[in-house]
Amino acid sequence: MADLNKLNSQQRLAAETIEGPVLILAGAGSGKTRALTYRMANMIDHGIQPWHILMITFTNKAAREMRQRVDTLCDGAAGDAWVMTFHACCARMLRRDIEKLGYSRDFTIYDEDDRNVVIKRAIKSLNINEKNYPPRMVRAVISDAKNRMLSPEEWRQENPEARSLAYFKVYQLYEETLKSNNALDFDDLLLKTLELLSEHPPVLEYYQNRFRYIMVDEYQDTNVAQYQLVRLLSGESRNLCVVGDDDQSIYSWRGADIRNILSFEKDFPGCTVIKLEENYRSTGTILEAANRVIKNNHSRKPKALWTREGEGERIRFYRAMDEREEAAWVCENISALLREGYDPGEIAALYRTNAQSRVLEEALVRRGIKYGVYGGLKFYDRKEIKDIIAYLRLLVNPADDVSLRRVINEPRRGIGEATLETLGQYAEENNLSMLGAIIQGKPDELGARAKNALKGFGQLIEDLSALRESLSAVELVEKLIDETGILSQYENSKDPEDVSRVENIQELVTAVGEYSRQNPEGGLTGFLENVALVTDTDRLDEKTQTVTLMTLHSAKGLEFGAVFLVGLEETIFPISRAMMDDEQLEEERRLMYVGVTRAKQRLYLSCARNRTLYNERHANAISRFVGEIPRELIDDGRRVQAPSRLTPSAPNQRLNAQKSGDTAPKPWEIPGVQKGMGKSAASLFHVGDRVMHRSFGQGTVLDVRSDGKVLIIDFGKIFGTKAISAEMAPMRLVK
């Protein structure tokens, strides 16, 4: 039985509030996972059957952790509860009933590489210029449309302009290709599940009766489809508990809609609202900095993090001359931390964009500091692994032409692109899969050599498919590796990369074995689904023994003893396009809040007076986010200083003492930043005015927006057009 006495008062309230809609606002580091697992265990202790519980998380890592914790609290009694991600939940539902939508249960889940292949082929077949419509951009348009639950036709109605016609045609052909290949992409897992539940009431009724209690973690990151799915499943019971933090909503570019959490009380009248504000991660100084930054956002629910621990170190701030001096300062402080005894895995440098890592990496190499850049090649993205996975997918789903194209000449069989194009065209004209055409010995116009090569490949796939029923998943993978020769092509090579490929293939066999032991009913289809649902975040199960470099977006959900936030300059963080959009600017501030709250004991902030980025030299003002941190929290000495302990304070003591006024410094109070024009002068600027900016020089005002607060200024060939704050920017009118 779960001992609720181990929870703080708000966590306990969350665990004990079982019936009806519940909104848990869980601040960073406030122990939300603990509250959720105890809540689930308490439900089971009160006689709720585990199979009536659905727990939705956003990563497989979080799902595993929650299941393990609940099993420990309930002595393994939670086995029949569904604890999984949205996509895994939808995949399981679709495996049971997708035939009602015209697919077979052995559908393939396409990853980003597969989607790119389909999109590129669609662009080519439609004779669209790839330079004008880059596949990456087309993929983003399609994904955005699906996140907003728009079919190709509905998207076209929203975008009637001439340029959008090409996107529409590719989107249409993309959808047709996936359907003919019996494949779904990640977005489809949600959309097809919604279609299934909406159009087949008995299926919806089945899941509403099964899942009488639903919990959703990271609710601030849900998109429109996920919101609709949760509303459908919760039905009339209204036993829906959502957990999240609107202050950490940073994925709008992925389709996340912050309104889902902000409007929960309106969507579910009479819901119970519980705030988890006690932080178990960071020092009082770090939490106060985070609170003071985020309170400048208007679209948020009021809350403030606090801790029972001491205030800790002041925040170190440094303004370098350029990005190389900034990197040197970061390395100097990392070296000092390592000498103090910090584990390298407890140190992270976070930046707004991936391009900022290069200079940091060079500096770390020169100092001999081992580091790892998060975002490298995943195990299942390696060529040799993807090749074997493609073979396996073809065995499960013979209609998967994308997988066939990948492996039909891997290892080499003398099957060229011309043969593939002829085969593909014949298959399309005769409503066949490419494998089906091969097995039939078509098309006739192919030469004898090509036909023999295709026949050999077709026979190989048929023979391996016939073994699916008699062999275990591990045995089948081993047989496939042996029969295809995919391993032997690397075994005799002394190339270190080929040696690594042999090791990776062996590791894949181990992975299949581990999955089979843990999921004896899953089989090959289950293993492939598990591979398809692996996310980037799942790679960070354990801290490495190296200093971590990563973007701020990637750092969400993680914590480190010491954190460096670099590149804190206007137009870099916040990024320039956010200056013209209040919603984007608030998301940038939430990203700053996320970065600050990753730090447990030490926080370092840095920027540069001049920075070369994307092959351009810029002189930017210090980020406004630095100016929003109270001045007394910052140590801005130019040299690395010895640690200076501050007197510990009771929870919220400093916050309570400052309620009478805002003591956060204006940006120009930080060394090196000049005073801007001020609010009273914002209305002085007009289109056509000439201005002098401290960093960018002379420019011409092209447009005035947001009631005079934002100016669009052309600074010539070197700096180009920029969005500038009339109130804050260090500039003056030129007469």
pLDDT tens for residues 300-320?
A: 999 999 999 899 999 999 999
Q: Using the structure block, give the residue that is written with the tokens 């705030």.
A: 275
Q: What is the predicted pLDDT for the residue at 254? A: 85
Instruction: Extract the tokens encoding 160.
Output: 């009637």
Query: How many CB atoms neighbour CB 38 within 10 A?
Result: 25
- Concatenate the DSSP letters of all residues of 87-115 into one string: HHHHHHHHHHHGGGGT--TT-EEE-HHHH
Write out the H or E segment, with its range, that includes residue 213.
strand 213-216
How distant, in Å, are the alpha carbons of 45, 110, 116, 484 from that of 531? 34, 11, 18, 21
In a 10 Å sphere around its CB, with 0-12 CB exposed, 13-18 middle and 19+ buried, how is residue 76 labelled?
exposed
Cis peptide before 201 (omega within 30 of 0): no
pLDDT at residue 666, as a whole number: 44
**Position 499 pLDDT exceeds 90:** no
Contact status, residue 474 vs residue 516, Cβ threshold 8 Å: yes
Report pLDDT digits (tens) over 407-458. Answer: 999 999 999 999 999 999 999 999 999 999 999 988 988 999 999 999 999 9
What pLDDT does residue 696 have? Answer: 67
Peptide bond into 160 cis (omega under 30): no
d(CA 654, CA 546): 36
What is the per-residue pLDDT for 650?
35
Give, as one character, the DSSP assignment of residue 618. Answer: E
Q: What global pTM score does this model have? A: 0.81
* Gap between the Cα atoms of 715 and 712, Å rounded: 10
Residue 485 has pLDDT above 50, yes or no: yes
What pLDDT does 663 receive? 39
Q: What is the pLDDT of residue 695?
A: 62
* Contact residues for 653 (Cβ-Cβ < 8 A; gap 6+): none
Residue 135 and residue 120 in contact, taking contact as beta carbons nearer than 8 Å: yes
- Compute the distance between CA of residue 126 and CA of residue 521 in angstroms, rounded to an integer: 43
Residue 288 CA to residue 13 CA, distance in Å, equals 25
Annotated catalytic residues are 32-33, 217-218, 248, 598
CA-CA-CA-CA torsion sign (45, 49, 50, 52): negative
Q: Has residue 205 got a pLDDT over 90?
A: yes
Mean pLDDT over the full length of the chain: 88
Beta bridge partners of 724: 711
Is the pLDDT at 654 greater than 80? The verdict is: no
pLDDT one-digit tens code per residue, 85-107: 999 999 999 999 999 999 999 99
Handedness of CA 570, 573, 574, 577 (dihedral sign): positive
Q: What is the mean pLDDT of residues 642-665?
A: 36
Q: How confident is the model at residue 343 (pLDDT cuts 50, 70, 90)?
A: very high
At which residue do the structure tokens 């889902």 appear?
A: 260
- What is the DSSP secondary structure assignment for residue 161, as one 8-state letter? S
In the chain the first and final C-alpha atoms are separated, in Å, by: 77
Q: How confident is the model at residue 651 (pLDDT cuts 50, 70, 90)?
A: very low
The rounded distance, in Å, linking the Cα atoms of 579 and 492 is 57
* Tokens of residue 618, six digits: 């810029």
